[in-house]
Amino acid sequence: SLAAVPFVAASAEQATPPAPQRTFGYAIVGIGDLATDAILPAFANTTRPRVMGLVSGDVEKARATAKQYGVPDRGLYSYDTFDRIVDNPDIDAVYIVLPNNLHAQYTIRAHKAGKHVLVEKPMANTVAECDAMIAAAKQANRQLLVGYRLRYEPYTQAMIRMAREQEFGPTRAIVCEAGFNIGNPAQWRLTKAVAGGGSMMDIGIYSVNAARYLSGEEAVEVYATEYSTPGDVRFKEVEETVHFHMRFPSGVIASCMSSYGVPLNRFRVHALRGSFEMEPAWNRTGLRLRVMRGSTVEQRYLPQRDHFALMMDHLAERAATNTAPLTDGVDGRHDMRVIEAVYESMRTKRPVTLV
């Protein structure tokens, strides 16, 4: 009978279960706030990825963390013994969660050891470093993923779809705001040689990335101005607040603000027949998406997913097929190019053309 058809189909599917897939081992480099609060717990939500290694300058912390997450002793390394990872077949990929100035060095060393790499944002402190990292991945024939976790979660993906499929007509303007009031003046984020810069490097990069993925274009011109509170000890070396414009080939301008002084947490697309926005836009949980058309405001609800688990799953999938991840080194380099132009424009007080 007709009613039996779906049942037959379902049981036929059950009769041939998918072949069990091999696990995909990660070594986490740097057991700091992000690794502890978000990345290590995310292994509870991954499919193939498992944490099989820890690289740390703190032996006690590494031992305790290994015990908590079941990492075998053979997966424990210091920064000096890190290169021995080449001999560890448990480890397929290295996830670099170090201060920004160490991203390039550890990415290159991991690729030389034949591992895939997931490196946190910002990819590095300069375009030149990005180039060296991309070259190292290519030479090793391994994949490099830059940790733009929002690209892997449903809300951001819905925003991108609404913009690209022109649900409200063509995009006319983009507004991106990202910031927070930074605490402890002694932290590495406020030391230029380590962080590479101030709010632009840490949080402004979310706006740069969003303006690019919402427009689907690369910026041709950047203009930026800065304000840092005079006498504030936090901003002796790095900038506090930056207002910047990115001009795209279609004529769309993204107008953005980056700050270490005030909380800012929103991306908005103004299209011909309506606008859509996320606020909060860059948190790890509790994202919200609103659509405005005429006088109506609609909130859209989507599943809340673990950004880090989705991203680690994605690298495992792309490694298996040896294809570039969604947020690869080239994507990370594009953002660094814009950020270097932002700093140049702040210095020269003139628009900077990107060719």
Provide the terminal-to-terminal Cα distance of the chain, rounded to the nearest Å.
65
Asked if residue 50 lies in contact with residue 23, where contact means CB atoms within 8 angstroms, the answer is: yes
Between residue 32 and residue 51, which ones bind ligand NDP under the rule CB under 6 A?
A: 32-35
Provide φ and ψ at 134, rounded to 5°: -60, -40
170 binds ligand NDP (CB under 6 A): no
Q: Does 332 bind ligand NDP (CB under 6 A)?
A: no
30 forms part of the interface with ligand NDP (CB under 6 A): yes
* Ranges within 210-229 binding ligand NDP (CB under 6 A): none
SS3 278: strand
What span, in angstroms and rounded, lies between the C-alpha atoms of 108 and 329? 12
The residue assigned the tokens 């895939």 is: 116
Quick check: 56 binds ligand NDP (CB under 6 A)?
yes
Task: Report d(CA 77, CA 97) in Å as an integer.
Answer: 15
Tell me the number of residues near ligand NDP by CB under 6 A: 20
Catalytic-role residue among 95, 106, 121, 343: 121
Parallel/antiparallel/unpaired status of strands 171-179 and 264-271 = antiparallel
Closest distance of CB 200 from ligand NDP, Å: 12
Task: Assess 53 for contact with ligand NDP (CB under 6 A).
Answer: no
DSSP label at residue 125: S
Return the HEC string of 175-232: EEEEECCCCCCCCHHHCHHHHCCCHHHHHHHHHHHHHHHHHCCCCCEEEEEEECCCCC
CA dihedral 238, 244, 248, 252 (to 10 degrees): 150
Q: Which of 66, 98, 219, 341 binds ligand NDP (CB under 6 A)?
A: 98
Q: Is 192 a catalytic residue?
A: no
**245 is a contact residue toward ligand NDP (CB under 6 A):** no
Tokens of 35: 């690794």
Active site residue 343: no
Q: Considering only the stretches 28-36, 67-75, 240-248, 346-354, report the one whose residues sit in contact with ligand NDP under the rule CB under 6 A.
A: 28-36
Residue with smaller CB distance to ligand NDP, 64 or 220 = 64
Question: Of 217 and 240, which CB lies nearer to ligand NDP in the complex structure?
Answer: 240
Site for ligand NDP in 136-165 (CB under 6 A): 147, 149
Closest chain position to ligand NDP (CB): 32
Question: Is 125 an interacting residue with respect to ligand NDP (CB under 6 A)?
Answer: no
Cβ distance to ligand NDP smaller for residue 146 or 271? 146
| Residues that are catalytic | 121, 206
* Sites of contact with ligand NDP (CB under 6 A): 30-35, 56-58, 61, 97-100, 120-121, 147, 149, 188, 202
